[in-house]
Structure 1
Amino acid sequence: MSLQGKVALVLGVANQRSIAWSIARALAQEGARLALTYQNERLRPNVEELASTIGAATFACDVSSDQDVAALMDWVGREMGGLDMLVHSVAYAPREGLEGRFVETPRDAFRIALDVSCYSLVALCRAAEPLMKARGGGSVLTMTYYGSEKVMPGYNLMGVAKAALESSVRYLAYELGASGIRVNAISAGPINTLAARGVSGFTEMRRTHAERAPLRRNIEVDEVGRTAAFLLGPGASGITGEVIYVDAGYHVMGV
């Protein structure tokens, strides 16, 4: 499981409750050198403060900008000496895509959600491939949710974006496998993050999950971090193109 000497880039840290932050801490505990990104100057102080606690470097990146993605990978190659692991924990949908009826989703909201939540993974993988290939391969991980498969009222547009993301994982795994790069996703149960609070009915979603999951509870964010460290590391060297559920077993239930 040791990640000593490996370089990891984690996108999506917002605060100490972020899934991305739990993953970053788990990777640091296994010995990885880390770099974290922040979207803009408003988020910079918080991300830099967290990064300092694990000795991570930081860099600005708006994943909806090809120029930002290219600049990020240039910086990683120059300052970090290469890249072994990429964590994509980024998702966004305008509020009008999460409220009301899905059929009334505005075209612009649909475009933005698919761009930020799905296409950004494709763009990052394309830019990261040369860095990972130069080091003999690497591993990519993204975050999804069961709302990609089943209707979760209130999840709406984000469910469609996550479905596209999971399909992208499979296509990327196929194409990047020749470069020795694995691509997987974790489907986590509902966690009380800043992003999750924007989903209508989230509190009820967590209550139902805890009642019906085989383990009769909600998951803890650190459980996702530990699973991520495994999937990104050598212990999962034969796993690619998969969606791994960390949801206390909720997804196996029919009712």
Structure 2
Amino acid sequence: MTPLINLEGKIGLITGIANEKSISTGVAEACAQAGAKLIITYQNDKTRAFIEPIVHRLGVEDVFLLDVTRPDTMDAVFAEIDARHGKLDFAIHSMAFAKRDDLHGRVVDSSPDGFALAMDVSTHSFVRLAKKAEPLLEKAGGGSLVTMTYLGSEKVIPNYGVMGLCKAALEAATRYMAAELGAKGIRVNAVSPGPLMTRAASGIAGFDGLMAAAVERAPMHALVTPEDIGALTAFLVSDAGRLVTGGVHFVDAGYNIMA
């Protein structure tokens, strides 16, 4: 009997892996275990060194530089995917950035340049990735795009600042692109994990307290793990999730439902 989550024969792009604790690491492992052939990107040479153990463990052959502030690198990645595979079945967007002052400061004090940079890297990069992926997903007969968001999109999270606005825009982009691409069989979804300690989260002041509060308030009294996020994402990009699109899907032990 074929497993429900079966990605055999599918080719997937995974972005945003920084180290072993990254959300994208859990996603890559889940997709690889389900049989997908993966393409992994890295932001710079320093990041490449940190992801080498993951690349070797998962047997990934296609590893490319992708810095979303440099359009030439995105062009190069998708040109390589087309040349090597001729199609793409799914792509995972897991990238976000804001300057420290804009992250920890008041939204009303955010700088124009800082706001523009945060929105470009955290939100519009998903739109650009979707545009580049669209023809390759069409060649596969349709496919799936998934981005990573957070509850700060709809609730005020201390020290999350301008990133909350970026995540709200990211979720809106998910809905609009799902509507625009659905006729081509392309699904677009967002996964919203509960708080977990990643390199990005370590830059948020008071994050340890946020995680402790999540364990206390969540109905299941547990913290999410990269493996939990990977399992949900693997479902969304699989044929089992073939009619799931345009949604924000929480994996947070129920934390988001509590007042």
TM-score by length of 2: 0.96
Matches of 2:52 and 2:145, distance apart in 1 = 23
Q: Which runs of 5+ in 1 are unaligned?
A: none
Q: Who is 1:48 aligned against?
A: 52
Cα deviation code 1:61-94 (max 9, x no counterpart): 1112222211110111112332101000111111
Structure 2 letter corresponding to 1:120: S
> How many residue pairs end up in the alignment?
254
Partner of 2:160: 155
Q: Distance in 2 between matches of 1:224 and 1:49?
A: 20
Quote the offset at 1:49 in angstroms: 3.0
SS in 2 for 1:153: coil
Give the secondary structure class of the aligned counterpart of 1:86. Answer: strand
Out of 19, 24, 40, which is 1:36 matched to? Answer: 40
Unaligned runs of 5+ in 2: none
Q: Distance in 2 between matches of 1:33 and 1:248?
A: 30
Determine if contact 2:123/2:170 at 8 Å carries over to the other structure.
yes
CA contact (8 A) 1:48 1:58 kept: no
Distance in 2 of aligned mates of 1:65 and 1:124? 13
Deviation above 3 Å: which 4+ runs of structure 1? none
Contact 2:24 2:226 in 1 (8 A): no
Q: Which amino acid aligns with 1:128?
A: A
What letter matches 1:183 in structure 2?
Answer: V
Identity %: 44
- Secondary structure class of the residue paired with 1:59: strand
In 2, Cα distance between equivalents of 1:193 and 1:42: 17
Instruction: Find out whether 1:27 has 2:31 as its counterpart.
Output: yes
C-alpha distance after superposition, 1:31-68 (max 9, x if no partner): 00001000111211222331111111200011122222
| Alignment-derived partner of residue 149 in structure 2 | 144
Identify the residue that residue 13 of structure 2 maps to in structure 1: 9
Distance 1:137 1:66 in 2: 25
Task: Provide the residue aligned with 2:110 in structure 1.
Answer: 105
Name the amino acid aligned to 1:175: E
Aligned-pair distance for 1:100?
2.6
Deviation sequence 1:11-38 (CA, Å, 0-9, x none): 0000000000100000000000001000
Cα deviations across residues 137-188 of structure 1 (Å, max 9, x unaligned)?
0101000000000100101111110000000000110111121100001100
Deviation string 1:192-227 (CA, Å, 9 cap, x unpaired) is 101000011111111111111111121122111101
Contact 2:149 2:170 in 1 (8 A): yes
Give the distance between the partners of 1:216 and 1:7, measured in 2 at CA. Answer: 35
Contact 1:36/1:47 (<8 A) preserved? no
